[in-house]
Structure 1
Amino acid sequence: MKISSSRSIIESLISENIEFIFGYPGGAVLHIYDEIFKSGIKHILVRHEQAAIHIADGYSRSSKKIGVVLVTSGPGYTNCITGLATSNFDNSSILVLCGQVIKKLISQNSFQELDNLNISTTIVKNFFSLNCYYNIQYLISKSFKISKFKKGPVVIDFPKNLTDNNYKLRNKYPFLKNKKKNNKNFNINFHFKRPIILIGGGIKNSFNFLLLDNFIKKSKIPFISSFMGLGGFNYRNLYYLGWLGMHGDSCVNNIIHFSDFIICIGTRLDDRITNENKLFTPYAKIIHIDINIDSISKTIFCKNFFLIDLIYFLNKKIKKKNFLNWWKFIIFLKKFFKKKYKNDFYFCKPQQIIEFIFLLSKGKMFITTDVGQHQMFAAKYYNFNYKCFITSGGLGTMGFGLPSAIGVKFANKNKKILLITGEGSFQMMMQELSTCKQYKINILIVNLNNQSLGMVKQWQELNYKNRYSHSYINSLPNFKKLLNSYNFYSFSFYKIRNFFKLFKKIIFKNIFCFVNIYINQKENVFPIQIFNKSMCEFITFFSIKKYEKKFNFNYL
């Protein structure tokens, strides 16, 4: 049986069990959109192509599926670039089908024609440009395999004439079979007294988190996580100490500094984790476990690494050792560096708000965030269940929150989705409220409104002597009227007690609700590490750096 080339694209997607296509139509992809109309496949119309990528990103991260995006040529594809970079940094499995002008007009500066390959070559895992309509099924099949294995965005560029209904081809579906990975034999010998396991975001992509629980239970080694690792493990595990990094837990930053053996699992050790590379973990030997070679020795050179699926490593048996003195030191640090902030029953404090949300939800909600202070407050004061934390940690993309929450909702229809955002980030993608209205997407949004670009303002206070250069937003919309214009529920609060009373009522109701909370402008995220210093040196909290030489590491 012969079918048209554009029909072959849709049939190939259907055979891969694709439920949704997120996209925005344009001239170069109208042949494909015509087949979508005939096929009945579910297409979600976004209001901006960047949002389509973020929606597919959230959809992919919160499920085991690949998000599929369809956009047109030229400006349609360039609008996707920020989303592609976000997906690439955070290793989200996405397939982007991009239109292109007809073949004879390529490289002639024709209308809406761009060199998509060179534009995006550094921010995608693979890029394919269709040169013959016979290759359609093969390229789509191969792209799915690559996206599943490499965990990142893959783009296929379709010249419009090659998707014309006049081109017919046999319906073969030559899908590639997954090859079994080789299990490399390796052994880890423990000759160390202060070990730590560092969990990264890669751990959320490959296995059931119970494997990690069993591995920790057997080895009895304490573990910490990166910011992107949050939601990749059971936070109730007794061996979990917290997360490290620029705004991470003070005790954790000290613990990793004084450790002498670090097992890194699924993390690329980026600059927000390490601070000054030369001063990072001066006493430690590092072993790196990852499936992606690009994550090895990216910032910190690692001589001992294993390119292997995490499942194989976590099934390995490790001999138990007695780390009693190391645990005593950890308990001392945990007691000394407690989370401290003053409660305020009049002004809305973001820490109180996040803790109250967790208390009511019991960690059962999917949490998405934008980027800024609210993102850090959510990470520090909410305990996340497995895969329930969706955020832009690698690229730090403002505007990521709302579309990713939409994607999470499509993947988890019966779950409650909460977006924690700030007024600056929310305005970057708020046109997707229209998408929510069209497809009846019910999510709960908490907007921590400090009427400024909070993280920028904080840096200006610390480094630029309170010179607030363009960090304040003086023309905010009336959010209540804006949301009401879409027939959504909206509330604004200045007093924290009023917020508590409302939130108890709406938290598990199946409605779209936007809660705008005016928080204290002076509230900043602490601790914050001192630039180009070691992990144990940071602002506002007591630092034990000056006592470092007094610790008897032979005893520890």
Structure 2
Amino acid sequence: MKISSSKSIIEFLLFEKIEFIFGYPGGAVLHIYDEIFKSGIKHILVRHEQAAVHIADGFSRTSNKIGVVIVTSGPGYTNCITGISTSNFDNSSILILCGQVIKELISQNSFQELDNMNLSSTIVKNFFSLNCYYNIQYLISNSIEISKKKKGPVVIDFPKNLTSNNLKVRSKFPFFKKKKKTICIINFNFNFKRPLFIIGGGIKNNFYKKIFDYFIYFIKIPFVSTFMGLGGFNYKNLYYLGWLGMHGDSDVNNFVHFSDFIICIGTRLDDRITNKNNLFSPYAKIIHIDNNKNSISKTIFCNNFYITDLINLINKNIKKKNILIWWKFIIFLKKFFKKKYKNDFFFCKPQQIVEFIFFLSKGRYFISTDVGQHQMFAAKYYNFNFKYFVSSGGLGTMGFGFPASIGIKFANKNKKVLLITGEGSFQMMMQELSTCKQYKINIVIINLNNQSLGMVKQWQELNYNNRYSNSYIASLPNFKNLINSYNFYSFSFYNIKKFYYLFSKILFNDIFCFINVYINQKENVFPIQLFNKSMCEFITFYSIKKYDKKFNFSYL
């Protein structure tokens, strides 16, 4: 039996149990859209192609499934570039089906023709350009396997004439047999005084989580998380110390700085973690474990590394010293940096808002964020369960949070999804309110409104002598009227008590709700590392750098 080449695309997606396709139609993909109409596969119409990729990203991160996107040629694909870059940085499994002009018109500057391969060669795991319709099934099969294995975006470029209904292919789906996973046995010698684990975003799958939790409870070694690693483990773990980085916990940055043995799992140690590379953990021997060889020694040289997809840490030939003094040092620093923000029960403080959200939700809901101060407040004051935190880490994409939360809802229909955002980020993708209305997507949006681009403003205060160049937004919309125009619920607050009362009621209702909370404009995110300095040099309530010489590390 033979079927049309465009139908074979849809049939294979159904064969792979793809539940949703996120996209926006255009001339170059109309053959495929015609088959979508006939097949009954669930297509989600977005209002902007960038949002389609972000939705697929959020869907993929919280479901262990592949997110599929379909867009047309030219501007349809270029609108996806930001979303593809975000997915590539944060390793989300996404397949992008992109239309292209007919084969005879390629390289002739035709209408809506672009060289998609060269445009995106550095931000995708693989790019395939279809040159013969007989290869359609093979390319899709190959692309899905690559995206799952390499954890990133894969693009297939379809010339329109090769997806014509007149072209027939065999209805046999060549697919790759899944290889049996092999266990890589890794034995460590903990013959060190100040050992520490650093856990990154690569830990976020069930298998790694079970192995890691078992190992930590067995070996009793403390661990810290990167920003992207949040939600990859049980936050109630007694050996979890916090997260590190530019805005990470002050004590955690010091733990990493003074450690003498660091094991990194699933993190590439980018500049937001290490600050100045040659000053990162000067006392430590570093071991790196990752399934992506490009992440090994990318910024920080590692003495030993293991490129493996499965990690089995077992009790065999492990030599471990007594690290009681190291734990005493950890407890001391925890107390030293215990001071937090001052409470204010009349005006809304973003830290209080996030803590109230965690207290009322008890960490059981999915949290998505955009990028900015609100993102850091959410990371610092909300304790995340496994895979319940979705944010743009590597690229830092403003506008990511809203469409990503829609994708989370598609992947977890019976779960509550909360979006913590800012007015600057929300306006970049607020057209997707229409998508929420069409598909009855109910999420709760908490907009921490300081009427400025908060992170930009903070940097201008610290580095540009309070010269606020274009960091204040002077023409914000009336959010309440905007949200109400879509027949959604909307509320605005200046008072923390009223917010607490309303939010406690909303959590028990399955509705779309936008909560606009006006917060103090002068509230900033601390600590913040000093540029081009070591991990333990930062702006906060206290600094421990002056005590550096008082610690005798030969005895610690």
TM-score by length of 2: 0.98
Letter in 2 for 1:219: I
Q: Equivalent residue of 1:190, what SS?
A: coil
Q: Equivalent residue of 2:311, what SS?
A: helix
Root mean square deviation of aligned Cα: 1.2
Superposition deviation, residue 172 in structure 1: 1.1
Counterpart position of 2:541: 541
Counterpart position of 1:217: 217
Superposition deviation, residue 187 in structure 1: 2.8
Assess if the C-alpha contact under 8 Å between 1:212 and 1:314 holds in 2.
Answer: no
- Mapped to 2, the partners of 1:381 and 1:339 lie a distance apart of 14
- Mapped to 2, the partners of 1:554 and 1:482 lie a distance apart of 62
Superposition deviation, residue 497 in structure 1: 1.1
Letter in 1 for 2:157: D
Assess if the C-alpha contact under 8 Å between 1:422 and 1:447 holds in 2.
Answer: yes
- Mapped to 1, the partners of 2:191 and 2:394 lie a distance apart of 34
Superposition deviation, residue 257 in structure 1: 0.3
User: For residues 15-71 of structure 1, what are the alpha-carbon distances to aligned partners after superposition, in whole Å with 9 as ceiling and x for unaligned?
Assistant: 000000000000000000000000000000000000000000000000110000000
Q: What is the count of residue pairs matched by the alignment?
A: 556
- Mapped to 2, the partners of 1:313 and 1:149 lie a distance apart of 22
Letter in 2 for 1:473: I
Q: What percentage of aligned pairs have identical amino acids?
A: 81
- Mapped to 1, the partners of 2:155 and 2:191 lie a distance apart of 46
Letter in 2 for 1:550: K
Superposition deviation, residue 544 in structure 1: 1.6
- Mapped to 2, the partners of 1:453 and 1:6 lie a distance apart of 45
Superposition deviation, residue 179 in structure 1: 2.4
Q: Equivalent residue of 1:207, what SS?
A: helix
Letter in 1 for 2:335: K
- Mapped to 1, the partners of 2:478 and 2:452 lie a distance apart of 15
Letter in 2 for 1:58: G
Counterpart position of 2:502: 502
Counterpart position of 2:44: 44
- Mapped to 1, the partners of 2:184 and 2:207 lie a distance apart of 18
Superposition deviation, residue 183 in structure 1: 4.1
Q: Equivalent residue of 2:207, what SS?
A: coil
Query: 1:515/1:185 Cα in 2 relative to 1: closer, same or farther (>3 Å)?
Result: closer
- Mapped to 2, the partners of 1:218 and 1:499 lie a distance apart of 43
2:77 aligned with 1:77: yes
Query: 1:167/1:339 Cα in 2 relative to 1: closer, same or farther (>3 Å)?
Result: farther
Alignment of structure 1 residues 476-487 onto 2, 5 Å: 476-487=476-487
User: For residues 264-303 of structure 1, what are the alpha-carbon distances to aligned partners after superposition, in whole Å with 9 as ceiling and x for unaligned?
Assistant: 0000000000000010000000000000001111111113
Letter in 1 for 2:33: Y
User: For residues 118-171 of structure 1, what are the alpha-carbon distances to aligned partners after superposition, in whole Å with 9 as ceiling and x for unaligned?
Assistant: 000000000000000001111101111100100000000000000000100101
- Mapped to 1, the partners of 2:395 and 2:279 lie a distance apart of 24
- Mapped to 1, the partners of 2:485 and 2:547 lie a distance apart of 59
Alignment of structure 1 residues 105-116 onto 2, 5 Å: 105-116=105-116
Superposition deviation, residue 542 in structure 1: 1.7
More displaced 10-residue stretch of structure 1: 41-50 or 338-347: 338-347
Counterpart position of 1:529: 529
Assess if the C-alpha contact under 8 Å between 2:185 and 2:312 holds in 1.
Answer: no
Q: Equivalent residue of 1:325, what SS?
A: helix
2:462 aligned with 1:455: no
- Mapped to 1, the partners of 2:113 and 2:386 lie a distance apart of 43
2:421 aligned with 1:438: no
Letter in 2 for 1:413: K
Letter in 2 for 1:335: K
Counterpart position of 1:304: 304
- Mapped to 2, the partners of 1:68 and 1:39 lie a distance apart of 16
Query: 1:101/1:161 Cα in 2 relative to 1: closer, same or farther (>3 Å)?
Result: same
- Mapped to 1, the partners of 2:210 and 2:312 lie a distance apart of 14
Alignment of structure 1 residues 127-166 onto 2, 5 Å: 127-166=127-166
Counterpart position of 2:169: 169
- Mapped to 2, the partners of 1:332 and 1:399 lie a distance apart of 40
Counterpart position of 1:54: 54
Assess if the C-alpha contact under 8 Å between 1:206 and 1:311 holds in 2.
Answer: no
Counterpart position of 1:365: 365
Query: 1:529/1:22 Cα in 2 relative to 1: closer, same or farther (>3 Å)?
Result: same
Alignment of structure 1 residues 334-353 onto 2, 5 Å: 334-353=334-353
Q: Equivalent residue of 1:420, what SS?
A: strand
Assess if the C-alpha contact under 8 Å between 1:23 and 1:44 holds in 2.
Answer: yes
Counterpart position of 2:287: 287
User: For residues 98-124 of structure 1, what are the alpha-carbon distances to aligned partners after superposition, in whole Å with 9 as ceiling and x for unaligned?
Assistant: 000000000000000000000000000
Letter in 2 for 1:153: P
Assess if the C-alpha contact under 8 Å between 1:226 and 1:273 holds in 2.
Answer: yes
Assess if the C-alpha contact under 8 Å between 2:247 and 2:528 holds in 1.
Answer: yes
- Mapped to 1, the partners of 2:76 and 2:62 lie a distance apart of 26
Superposition deviation, residue 308 in structure 1: 1.0
Letter in 1 for 2:3: I
Counterpart position of 1:4: 4
- Mapped to 2, the partners of 1:255 and 1:432 lie a distance apart of 42
Query: 1:362/1:339 Cα in 2 relative to 1: closer, same or farther (>3 Å)?
Result: farther
Q: Equivalent residue of 2:202, what SS?
A: helix
Q: Equivalent residue of 2:180, what SS?
A: coil
Assess if the C-alpha contact under 8 Å between 2:191 and 2:320 holds in 1.
Answer: no
More displaced 10-residue stretch of structure 1: 415-424 or 497-506: 497-506
Letter in 1 for 2:526: F
Assess if the C-alpha contact under 8 Å between 1:391 and 1:400 holds in 2.
Answer: yes
Query: 1:9/1:339 Cα in 2 relative to 1: closer, same or farther (>3 Å)?
Result: farther
Q: Equivalent residue of 1:97, what SS?
A: strand
- Mapped to 2, the partners of 1:205 and 1:213 lie a distance apart of 12
- For structure 2, list consecutive stretches of 5 or more residues without a partner in the other structure: none
- Mapped to 2, the partners of 1:208 and 1:40 lie a distance apart of 36
Letter in 2 for 1:39: S
2:212 aligned with 1:251: no
Letter in 1 for 2:293: I
Superposition deviation, residue 181 in structure 1: 4.8
Assess if the C-alpha contact under 8 Å between 1:71 and 1:98 holds in 2.
Answer: yes
Assess if the C-alpha contact under 8 Å between 1:398 and 1:425 holds in 2.
Answer: yes
Superposition deviation, residue 415 in structure 1: 0.0
Counterpart position of 1:68: 68
More displaced 10-residue stretch of structure 1: 422-431 or 210-219: 210-219
Query: 1:315/1:89 Cα in 2 relative to 1: closer, same or farther (>3 Å)?
Result: farther
- Mapped to 2, the partners of 1:316 and 1:396 lie a distance apart of 41
2:118 aligned with 1:118: yes
Counterpart position of 2:464: 464
Letter in 2 for 1:69: V
2:229 aligned with 1:232: no
User: For residues 237-265 of structure 1, what are the alpha-carbon distances to aligned partners after superposition, in whole Å with 9 as ceiling and x for unaligned?
Assistant: 00000000000000000000000000000
- Mapped to 1, the partners of 2:184 and 2:436 lie a distance apart of 47
Assess if the C-alpha contact under 8 Å between 2:288 and 2:306 holds in 1.
Answer: yes
2:97 aligned with 1:104: no
Assess if the C-alpha contact under 8 Å between 2:460 and 2:468 holds in 1.
Answer: yes
2:326 aligned with 1:326: yes
Assess if the C-alpha contact under 8 Å between 2:211 and 2:313 holds in 1.
Answer: no
Query: 1:509/1:79 Cα in 2 relative to 1: closer, same or farther (>3 Å)?
Result: same
- Mapped to 2, the partners of 1:462 and 1:473 lie a distance apart of 20
- Mapped to 2, the partners of 1:239 and 1:207 lie a distance apart of 20
Superposition deviation, residue 310 in structure 1: 3.9
Assess if the C-alpha contact under 8 Å between 2:257 and 2:535 holds in 1.
Answer: yes
